[in-house]
Amino acid sequence: MVEILKPADKKQLSKWIGGGSSKQFELLFKATRDGCAANVFHAKCDNKGPTVTVFYNTVDCIFGGYTSMNWLSVTTYNYDEKAFLFRLQLKGAPEYKKYPVKVFNNASYSNATYGPTFGAGHDIYSFNGTLAKTGNYYASNGGVTLGQTYNMLGDTAATFHAENIQYTDIEVYKVIDGGLCLEKPWRPIPGLNMKTLMSEVEKYSPVDAVSIDYVNILLIGAVGAGKSSYFNTINSIFRGHVTSQACSGSAEHSLTTVYRVYKIRSQETGFPLKFRLCDTRGLEEAQGMDSADLLAILDGHLPDRYQFNPSMPVSPEVTGYKKNPTLQDKIHVIAFVMDGCSVDVFPEKILTNIKATQQKANQRGIPQVVLLTKVDRVCQEVEQDLSQVFYSQAVQDLVDEVSQLVGLPRAHILPVKNYEREMELDQDVNIPALLSVRQMLRFADDYLYNFVDES
């Protein structure tokens, strides 16, 4: 059984806990997995340092408590100025709220026969002894008596947990500063080898059943997400040194003002590889990509270096407009480029633009992926050693969160780090980037096979 706590909930808890660094959450105890018994809770959770306890009840409320002190099997109240209770969900609706401790010396209560308990008046008293499951829940023999030790900020039992202590599950997480690296990679990549990956990409050719020379991958993303930098990164790998052919950097508005169809050339032969990275204007909250411009790109009407005009959408009358585009001209894969550091505050308007693009792409059968950039900044371990990207719990959680946000399978969420401060190539940067290209080329072939089948 997997944990229930969502990545967004973990991020919120991390902010509440504070301390100047992101937190990771290691699942120690889970009632439905380990049994709802006090002795099991103490065996798994005693002397583990700071923990978060989360309760899930039968009316879809999620609430709990944090303590920075150890759980113990001796009977004692624990002094803790940092403790707090929290609410994450009320009757199925996300309702984040933190309730600070007001009586420090009674923040939590340890007892060998008790499950996790907060407050002198048993503000949250989880259970005593062992609970048997009744249907799909555990009927608690404890209770919730709010306001004794924690400031409930005007909330009552009705608005905290809907007065329900029938628990579908109880989880206890160890709180860890910085990143948590897993023993096994969350995305196993057998035989991971840069030389092999480069060879696969260099030798790629579109499926034989269609008469096209290369496939087109369209990069779409918010200003500053790293679209142009992604092209520069892939270009650098195959040029053999760090390049900056596409304009990239920080700016209030998109640095890309024209539609560009970039070629990647082999260092050995100098010939272009059989895919193109197509760059377009960055998405902005104030002005999304014009629907007519987007359709013209997807359907292959726009020429390379087409200059966008914000006051006038594309039309068949513009210079270079392809009135009768072929399969070669069309977009075969869309890559949404998203900044991994800003997923939790992703602008609603830009997400709406992405969803609208997805709808048009789905109508055309165009596969989609997310290039999740700047993943080195979401985890200290990955920042120090990029080879840990597929072992990082933080990156895995971020991939899960983005998958839910955009409605794509997790295998379509591709974490990468673009070349930015580096002046020399780094294998640990190259491998995730090459994996992303390889996956997109495989999806492009899926699009082409569907075209063949329809024909």
pTM given for the model: 0.68
Note the pLDDT tens digit of each residue in 415-446.
999 998 899 999 999 999 999 999 999 999 99
Note the pLDDT tens digit of each residue in 72-115.
999 999 999 999 999 999 999 999 999 999 999 999 999 999 99
Mean local confidence (pLDDT), 115-138 = 94
Note the pLDDT tens digit of each residue in 160-200.
999 999 999 999 999 988 666 788 899 988 877 889 999 99
| 144 token code pair | 């919730």
> Can you give the pLDDT at residue 285?
67
> Can you give the pLDDT at residue 88?
97
Q: Does pLDDT of 206 surpass 90?
A: yes
> Can you give the pLDDT at residue 258?
85
Note the pLDDT tens digit of each residue in 404-422.
999 999 999 999 999 988 9
Q: What is the largest CA-CA distance in the chain?
A: 82
Rounded-to-integer distance, Cα 283 and Cα 349, Å: 9
Q: Which among 144, 85, 74 is positioned nearest to 110, based on CA atoms? A: 74
CA distances from 302 to 211, 258, 325, 383 (A): 20, 10, 9, 39
Mean local confidence (pLDDT), 135-158 = 95
The H-or-E segment that residue 236 falls in is helix 227-239
Rounded-to-integer distance, Cα 53 and Cα 173, Å: 6
Rounded-to-integer distance, Cα 197 and Cα 199, Å: 5
What's the mean pLDDT when you consider all of the chain? 90
Q: Which among 115, 132, 129 is positioned nearest to 55, based on CA atoms? A: 115
Is residue 182 within 8 A of residue 392, CB to CB? The reply is: yes
Rounded-to-integer distance, Cα 413 and Cα 7, Å: 15
> Can you give the pLDDT at residue 193?
86
In sign, the C-alpha dihedral spanning 235, 241, 246, 249 is: positive
The residue extents of the domains of the chain are 7-177, 194-454
DSSP-assigned beta bridge partners for residue 243: none
> Can you give the pLDDT at residue 286?
63
> Can you give the pLDDT at residue 253?
46
> Can you give the pLDDT at residue 252?
46
Note the pLDDT tens digit of each residue in 217-242.
999 998 888 998 999 999 999 999 99
Position 251 confidence tier, pLDDT thresholds 50, 70, 90: very low
Note the pLDDT tens digit of each residue in 395-404.
998 999 899 9
CA distances from 421 to 244, 254, 387 (A): 12, 21, 17
In sequence order, which residues have a C-beta less than 8 Å from that of residue 180 and are 6 or more positions away? 24, 25, 26, 381, 392, 393, 394
Angle at 199 (CA atoms; ends 194, 205), nearest 5 degrees:
140
DSSP 320: T
Mean local confidence (pLDDT), 288-313 = 82
Residues of the chain above pLDDT 70, percent: 94
Residues of the chain above pLDDT 90, percent: 67
| 138 token code pair | 């555990």
Q: Does pLDDT of 288 surpass 60?
A: no
Class at the top of the CATH hierarchy for domain 194-454: alpha beta
- Residue in the block written with tokens 């969803």: 355
Q: 43-57, 247-261, 275-289, 400-414 — which is least confidently predicted?
A: 247-261
